[in-house]
Structure 1
């Protein structure tokens, strides 16, 4: 048996005998001496880490529309689409006519509005006349109050009829008073479900209009990527797009991942529906003040089930407990008391665990 094998065997025996009596906090409180000769014999090597203000990690995202980017123009009443005035892919502005729509209910609503406007106008005339009579003392206060009430009721009815037609998105134009179905917002026509002559029920979707610039990023972040926080930066370097994280929620599909949404301050040349590579810029210091750094996966060690790294000291090493944000085959992102310039063990981890237990 070589000297190196002898030391490793002794370290393993010591660790198995004493670890059951130690806590991670007790182990972290001790510094263990390690000479240059011991480190060489045990193949222990330390490497520096670079704690920085920001940590960049890569992942993938799907480009989707924001919740308010799409809206549907539906039939306000049961009726018939007489003509279709737009086609798929056409850009429309707010207030532009999409179709000519006819319906018995629509014309009944128009008649009711005309009647309400007429009654409101007569009520206003009566209000002006009775005001003059009341000021001259010719009519009693009770009649003046009744006239005011009738005028208020007539005005409210006219406003209600106007609101009904406005919510229907209908405008009457032309000498024949054609009823035109209007776009309430501008955008691109994504769907046309109307055919001239087609009879439809009330609330049947006829057109879908989208705002092509209202995009955001949807990311499913797994264990191999640290979970970002709201406000952290997201970029799509190859496409000239950037934004910030606006929300993090459980994925809801039974996996360990989380779903992350990011708004876009710069849209670049992104298009809805495509998948792109993104870079998350994570703050190097978390809310607890602990530095977030990347270390080789081999540097992670577990003492009493608690993760940590072995940090080089002037005369040896000590165990530093950390919180693991994510791991993959090559590296791990951790948070802990690891300032810039700290050197951690990247090989000989088993031997250091044994020496640490033996020292205790």
Structure 2
């Protein structure tokens, strides 16, 4: 019985030793004894291993866009014809700035509807005041007073809605007062910008006919500039709101606001939206490139440190007696590689001279 137990223990111990040996072999492939003088003679250069940072991720193309949740277009409230422009592309404007003068038959109808509604509302108020006095004197019933009050409320709603429509179209309160007195030009109105920013482009020319709701002007607000990028779907699991991106051209930082969770079937990519952490001079429509955060945490391996042999990737690590060749599983990380296991920040790797070391391994050269 004791012999059986001892045999079983020996088998388990042997299996554990073999497992440890196999794990060590994943990283330590060969030892290359070299003295310091030989390292210098061969021109081998080492650099300390450092952890990856946000600048080590993949680089993808992107576009500068306006905030997707903010209107950036000045539109026409009435159909008609553009008589003239009040602003030019590149000009800074504020909310309420007149941008164009439009001639419109529909606007005449809206002006007339406003005047009619104002008169009806005034008459309804007079009628309500009259019936209130008659009711207080006991001359009319309460039902008649309530009917008059209901009619006045309807007239007031109609008046306010027609007034607001003109205000939305860019008509000022001063213009409305002049309209009440009949001292304003009928059929012409100034389109006013509903937002502040810089005029990006005109969608129509002076003299063009426009329809109700058609875009007239594009306004860019660089303080609210966003970035949109299409990212390969295999990177989707490593991206989330709050992560930092880096603009390759300028080094500016951006923060991810949202990541699409549906893959585009044609491009096999997802959409990523990000905002600049500080004010920027980039304009909507400009094409840029952006650096994504690394897919995982680990150690940075420069491209010059990696030797490829089929599907295997080998690096050379400094040891007390020379150099150790390690075959690691590396992931692409921008211009470099990412080592999740098998490398620590306390080690040094070869960044120049890998071809010489590979030749020594293959028996093509030596240190003698």
Which residue pairs with 1:11 in the alignment?
A: none
Partner Cα separation in structure 2 for residue 234 and residue 51 of structure 1: 17
What is the distance in 2 between the residues matched to 1:335 and 1:246? 27
Counterpart-to-counterpart distance in 1, 2:29 and 2:51: 29
**Does the 8 Å CA contact 1:88/1:192 hold for their aligned counterparts?**
no
Give the 5 Å matches for 1:3-18: none
Tell whether the 8 Å contact from 2:224 to 2:275 is kept in structure 1 after alignment.
Answer: no
RMSD over equivalenced CA pairs, Å:
5.0
Tell me, yes or no, if the aligned pair for 1:69 and 1:211 is still in contact at 8 Å: no
Q: How many residues align?
A: 306
Picking from 254, 262, 272, the partner of 1:243 is 254
| Gaps in structure 2 of 5+ consecutive residues | 1-17, 34-45, 319-323, 359-368
Gap change, CA 1:71 and 1:221, over 3 Å in 2: closer
Structure 1 residues 284-303: aligned runs within 5 Å: 291-295=297-301, 298=306
| 1:1-360 aligned within 5 A | 31-32=23-24, 39-40=31-32, 49-51=49-51, 54-57=53-56, 59=59, 61-66=61-66, 67=68, 71-171=72-172, 172=175, 175-177=183-185, 178-189=188-199, 190-191=201-202, 193-196=204-207, 198-221=208-231, 227-236=238-247, 239=250, 241-249=252-260, 252=264, 254-255=266-267, 258-276=270-288, 278-280=290-292, 291-295=297-301, 298=306, 326=332, 331-335=336-340, 340-341=345-346
Query: What's the offset of the Cα at 1:176?
Result: 3.1
* Mapped partners of 2:252, 2:30: distance in 1: 52
Shift of 1:154: 0.7
C-alpha distance in structure 2 between counterparts of 1:223 and 1:343, whole Å: 34
State whether residues 73 and 219 of structure 2, in contact with CA within 8 Å, keep that contact through their aligned partners in structure 1: yes
What SS class does the counterpart of residue 230 from structure 1 fall into? Answer: coil
Q: Give 1:335 deviation, angstroms.
A: 4.2
DSSP-derived class of the 1:82 partner = strand
TM, length-normalised to structure 2: 0.62
Distance 1:279 1:240 in 2: 9
SS in 2 for 1:333: strand
TM-score normalised to the size of structure 1? 0.63
Residue 219 of structure 1, CA deviation? 3.6
Moved more, 105-114 or 164-173: 164-173
| Local SS of the residue matching 1:105 | helix
